Amino acid sequence: MAYSTIFPNPNIPGMGQTPITSPEGSPMSAVDTPSAPEGRQHEQVDTVVIRFCGDSGDGMQLTGTQFTNASAAFGNDVSTLPDFPAEIRAPAGTLFGVSGFQLCFSSQDIYTPGDEVDTLVAMNPAAFKTNIQDLKVGGTLIVNEDAFESSNLKKAKYESNPLEDAESLSKYRLFKVPMTRLTRDAVGDTLKSTKDKDRCKNFFAMGLVYWLYDRDKKPTLEFLAKKFARKPELIEANTLALDGGFNYGFSTEAFTVHYKVAPAQLEPGKYRKIMGNEATAWGLAAAAKLAGRELVYCGYPITPASDVLHYLAGLKHFGVKTFQAEDEIAAMCSLVGASYAGALTVTASSGPGICLKGEAMGLGMIAELPMVIVNVQRGGPSTGLPTKTEQSDLLLAMYGRNGESPLPVVAAATPGDCFHMAMEAMRIAVEFMTPVIFLSDGYVANGSEPWKIPKIDDLHRIDVKYLSEPNQDGEFMPYLRDDRLVRPWAKPGTPGLEHRIGGLEKADVTGNVEYDPDNHHHMTLIRQQKVDNIAESIPEQVVHGSQTGDVLVVSWGGTFGSVRAAVNQCISAGRNVGHAHIGYIHPFPNNLGDILGNFKKVLIPELNMGQLRFLIRGKFLCDAEGLNKIQGKPFKISEVVEKIDSMFE
């Protein structure tokens, strides 16, 4: 929901203010104490979009994450967008070393981290330069003025100090804060070196913004206590910095308004914050645990999928085996081997890695073994933009293997949905004896949102069945299929079921190597039919908004938030629009064709050049239109709204 209150007061730069000692009373109090500057307002707002940006060494990710935790714990709906540079530690102060974290927190149900930034916190000139254009007119701009000195200005390619350009800054509420100096003052003698004191700057900024938005410090103080348990001086220093920033906000006359954002009315229940990759890992671990089996994860580090490996590596006590293979191909091959041995298996990678895995995925397919392949999509092609989001691997998922090699494909819509879809991917894999591709993306993988903690009993338990006896007249037929065309799972170590399988074409039922022409045609059709049969086991497609009408917006993957918010906006404006967000892409739900036929026009917004559009046009002969953006960024709500509106002209 758009946030559009404009502040009445002009900006008053906060120069040379020394914070007074912290007042008594809870920082959560909405009532200002008598020692607060006069005339200060405490305003209620619905939704705030805040972005922290600075050097990659400035701790912006930490600041953003802490702020998100505080907001989520308070009960706001949150949505995040971390923005990391590809390099680990670019030279300090440079433009390509800028790291950012944007989040939207709200008392409403929100779907995205926000189109426009309301409050920008910029820790240095480079961050300022790369982010200022996203700050809305009338937005709040908080900068660390101490960082705007000649060497940093030079690195950011500024000829003069932009903070002195009063004219162009007049459209914002500018707060120039001497954060470096004030942090050093706040930390005092707790730390010896200036360099160490300066590292606490992000906590100063955090404290200031916590005051500005009435955030509770408690989760952050708990975080500090745990993270620096062995270095109490760091707990103290960062706490002092945090308090310093907080008090600065409280006591300076510069800040004439501070805000409260009430908790959102989410569905009743118990919540936690969850990140997409975390949810993916948990979904897979849960699927295996509930099935009473071990989970074998074989993977290779690749941005932005590595965290799935990291999370699972910490779950050994859940019966999760993680194997960091020597390369992407080894990871996929060991997955096939482990699956042949009877394990529940999964790997996670991104575009370039999935390409490498192609041949082995085909082997898994023709062997008809269960496994889950997670593609956390990133900007391509080739090495592309490793830390930026995109959804351009759909056709790769559908066709990226030699020969006719159909595989089921599912996709996650939000960070929390990764949990659900990961479990679904494993279910389909086991029930239909097939590798399954689960498409996630960088945005959903690294983004966070509140997640209603599911009751364990409500979660689906996969029934893993292994064959224990010969299945045809005292003999074992590895490819004797049931009525869904699924073959049995016979694992090595089972007496009497010795058999050989492999990548060569095989005769149906017996599984013996077979080059007969009719058999090859038959097997090709059977393998496709088996995947098509999955449609009977997945939910029907749901349409949000109008069920029939003028425009149907069809989307998939991480664009859910932007598209849903845009469709809601259009519906509120009186448009006859529906939204079908597809989670099961291959096979499609059985009713999708009918749904497409219920609307005059179909719009498919995608962060690619029209891959779902290609599939839908091909399968349904539907003249769908596309909205295609490949910038390594999610859709803005406004972009989708504009396009929907244009379809009514």
Partner 1 sequence: MSTALPVLTPKDFASDQEVRWCPRCGDYSILAQMKRVLPTLGIPKENFCFVSGIGCSSRFPYYLDTYGFHSIHGRAPAVATGVKLGNPELSVWVITGDGDALSIGGNHLMHAIRRNVNLNIILFNNRIYGLTKGQYSPTSEVGKKTKSTPLGSIDNPLNPLAVALGSEATFVARAVDMDTKHLIEILTRAAHHKGTSFVEVYQDCNVFNSMAFEYAANKRGNPEKGLKPKSENIVYLEHGKPLIFGEKNDKGIRLIEGRPEVVELGNGMTEDDLLFHDESAESAGIAFTLAQMHYPEFPEPLGILRDVDLPRYDEGVEAQMAHAIDVKGEGNLEDLFNSGDTWVVEE
User: For partner 1, which stretch binds (CB under 8 A), given 7-15, 259-267, 569-577, 622-630?
Assistant: 259-267
Residue 468 is a binding residue for partner 1 (CB under 8 A): no
Of the pair 429, 566, the CB lying nearest partner 1 is at: 429
Name the nearest CA neighbour of 50 among 203, 182, 163, 205.
Answer: 205
User: For partner 1, which stretch binds (CB under 8 A), given 128-136, 139-147, 258-266, 586-594?
Assistant: 258-266
State in angstroms the smallest separation of the CB of 194 from partner 1: 33
State in angstroms the smallest separation of the CB of 39 from partner 1: 34
Of the pair 283, 379, the CB lying nearest partner 1 is at: 283
**Whole-Å CA distances, 199 to 124, 148, 189, 211:** 14, 17, 14, 20
Angle between helices 218-227 and 60-74 (to 10 degrees): 130
Binding mask 501-530 for partner 1 (x = CB under 8 A): xxxx-------xx-----------------
Name the nearest CA neighbour of 343 among 363, 364, 321, 327.
Answer: 321
Of the pair 158, 323, the CB lying nearest partner 1 is at: 323
Phi and psi angles of residue 414, each rounded to the nearest 5 degrees, phi first: -145, 170
Rg of the chain on CA atoms, in Å = 27
Could you give the 3-state DSSP secondary structure of residue 317?
A: helix
Residue 326 is a binding residue for partner 1 (CB under 8 A): yes
Surface-to-core class of residue 321, CB atoms within 10 Å of its CB (0-12 exposed, 13-18 middle, 19+ buried): middle
Report which residue type is found at 141.
Answer: L
Q: What angle do CA 319, 323, 327 make, to 5 degrees?
A: 160
Binding mask 333-352 for partner 1 (x = CB under 8 A): xxxxxxxxxxx-x-------
State in angstroms the smallest separation of the CB of 461 from partner 1: 12
Of the pair 173, 401, the CB lying nearest partner 1 is at: 401
DSSP secondary structure string for all residues of 556-582: EGGGHHHHHHHHHHHHHTT--EEEEEE
| One residue of 359, 516, 540, 594 binding partner 1 per CB under 8 A | 359
Of the pair 73, 577, the CB lying nearest partner 1 is at: 73
Phi-psi region of 480 (alpha: psi -120 to 50; beta: other; left: phi over 0): beta
State in angstroms the smallest separation of the CB of 494 from partner 1: 6
| One residue of 11, 61, 69, 131 binding partner 1 per CB under 8 A | 69
Binding mask 611-630 for partner 1 (x = CB under 8 A): --------------------
Q: What is the 3-state secondary structure (H, E, C) of 133-193?
A: HHEEEEEEEEEEHHHCCHHHHHHCCCCCCHHHCHHHHCCCEEEEECHHHHHHHHHHHHCCC
State in angstroms the smallest separation of the CB of 434 from partner 1: 17
Binding mask 298-317 for partner 1 (x = CB under 8 A): x----------------xxx
Name the nearest CA neighbour of 609 among 582, 588, 627.
Answer: 627
State in angstroms the smallest separation of the CB of 420 from partner 1: 13
Question: Interface residues for partner 1 in 480-499 (CB under 8 A)?
Answer: 491-499
Kindly state the number of chain residues that form the binding site for partner 1, as judged by CB under 8 A: 71
Residue 95 is a binding residue for partner 1 (CB under 8 A): no
Binding mask 399-428 for partner 1 (x = CB under 8 A): ------------------------------
Of the pair 512, 533, the CB lying nearest partner 1 is at: 512
Of the pair 264, 397, the CB lying nearest partner 1 is at: 264
Question: Interface residues for partner 1 in 264-283 (CB under 8 A)?
Answer: 265-273, 282
CA distance 576 to 568: 11
Phi-psi region of 621 (alpha: psi -120 to 50; beta: other; left: phi over 0): left
Question: Interface residues for partner 1 in 182-221 (CB under 8 A)?
Answer: 219
Could you give the 3-state DSSP secondary structure of residue 474?
A: coil
Placement of tokens 């919540």 in the chain? 271
